[in-house]
Amino acid sequence: MPAKLEPWRAVRRHAAAGAIVLALLGAGLPAAAADDKQPDLTRFYRQKVAWTACEGAQAPEDLQCGKVTVPLDYARPGAGTLDLALARFRASGEKRGSLLLNFGGPGGPGVSELAASGDDFMDLSDGYDVVSFDPRGVGRSSPVSCGSDPFGGAGVTVGTDEALRDPQAVLRQLQKAARECAKHSGPVLPHIGTVNASRDLDVIRQALGDDELNYLGFSYGTRLGAVYATQFPGKVGRMALDGVDTLTESLTRQGLAGAAGQQVALDDFLDWCVQDVGCPFGQDARAAREAVVRLVRSMDEDPVPTPFSGTFSGQDLVGALGQALYSRDMWPSLERALALLVEDGDTRGVEAFATGGLAPGPPGERHRPAPPADGGLVDQEDVPLDNLPAALMAINCADDPDRPTARQITRDLGRLRAAYEEASPVFGRFRLTQFLLCYGRPRGTDFIRERVKDVDTPRMLLVGTRGDPATPYRWTVQTAERLGPSAVVLDNKGDGHTGYASSKCVRGKVDAFLLYGSLPASGSSCGSGNGGGARP
């Protein structure tokens, strides 16, 4: 998903700190500000991961699973804990440590993604144990959920003419959505976000036995890497960030950029689709674009009944399209899924995209109860199918300090709707809803916008793709300027979200850096047409 795709404070060392603080610093914890008393996190930093064979029919035989335990609240480590799910492929060559992967989202589970796409990273196992994890609130790690309707009905409501006549009804829907998410998410929800996930990342680093964090982050994972570099600059090893997220733009501007980028990707898909006689929208590209808009609107007015989720609305379809369009490799599957929907009213194909590739379960099992209060891992089959959109919203809202007031929403709803629909007649309402869904939630942190800059770390590699529909290339340039001289930019003149899987050139330069420390000159480029499709 788009990096949209967190809260704690970086602190300074002080020579007069007490013996306990010095011991914690030796374990890799962030130092305390001059007179702050640091909570005792020793027990978390003394963990070692116990690896075992992963369970489940789809787990590769050589994939190992484990867990680490982290505080629910780093300010009050005695107030509860969370277990975080880990998975790894062991190094096949001479091991120089571990390489942690984050596949983006926010809300994307790392364990299942590593199991599915581990072959893409086998070259890196020449030097590393290749490791990924489910961040807090994601996957098996205390997954958040918003119940039977991830948007609480607001997804359909926000863009209607009725909403403009009665904005108070929209506010009520948004407040209802916030309450439902809190109800179904358990105690992790107030402590979700990138700032806490970054602290978790450092506990994982120590539990893996590494003095420094070697890291490859995609999309939202670049935000997580940048936050880690700010909080733990002395622990950064080799860090590569691909599909670079913004650190400064508000959710409003992110939403507009995302809607425009996804509309371009949809237009490209339809241009391709209409060349095939099996395209469900015919063989004329302009007519196909109009047909998609009509399909979304008709499904919002009359959602399609499904045996698994109850109903599937136009906004549910838009969410599924957004997932599928990140990769050209998925276009044939998307065409087949849309043909099933248009011709037979069968939603199973598009629902799989909407849930991050997970097939809908039996009736009554789409949404699970809230995660266990003790913070233990949940079984894979108990991860709610709305965890991806629920976690995306929770993390993005936690990372953003802006909260529109009721008065602002009432005043600006018409203008915002027009701007979003101009950016995309298909994705505009969906993106506007995502922005507004922060209403009714606690204010997010200002740490990322104000503090993540001018990092004092070894040089890191940032990859930006010119035709990226989710993270515009300008975000790579802006983030590099913000991070300072440590950031080295690789310009990928290709298409698709991220470059590692779509470009042999990008893959080669990223692997050379991570394995051997060989960095390209800042501003160097990879040409288009390197083969392969971008991975979501």
pLDDT at position 49: 97
Average pLDDT for the chain? 87
In degrees and rounded to multiples of 5, residue 355 shows phi and psi of -105, 20
pLDDT at position 487: 97
Half-sphere exposure of 8 (CA within 13 A, CB side): 31
Q: What is the mean pLDDT of residues 53-58?
A: 83
Q: For tokens 């036995």, what's the residue?
A: 209
Tens digits of residue pLDDT in 152-197? 666 667 767 777 888 888 898 889 899 999 999 999 999 999 999 9
Amino acid identity for residue 58 in this structure: Q
Which of 154, 220, 268, 307 is CA-nearest to residue 3?
220
Higher pLDDT, 527 or 492: 492
Q: What is the mean pLDDT of residues 321-332?
A: 88
In degrees and rounded to multiples of 5, residue 107 shows phi and psi of 115, 0
Distance CA 381, CA 361 (A): 9
User: For a pLDDT cut of 90, what percent of the chain falls above it?
Assistant: 68
pLDDT at position 534: 31
Tens digits of residue pLDDT in 227-242? 999 999 999 999 999 9
pLDDT at position 36: 56
Q: What is the mean pLDDT of residues 493-508?
A: 92
pTM equals: 0.87
Tens digits of residue pLDDT in 86-120? 999 999 988 899 999 999 989 999 999 999 999 99
b/e string for 391-426 if b means 16 or more Cβ within 10 A? bbbbbbbbbbeeebeeeebeeebeebbebbbebbbb
pLDDT at position 327: 80
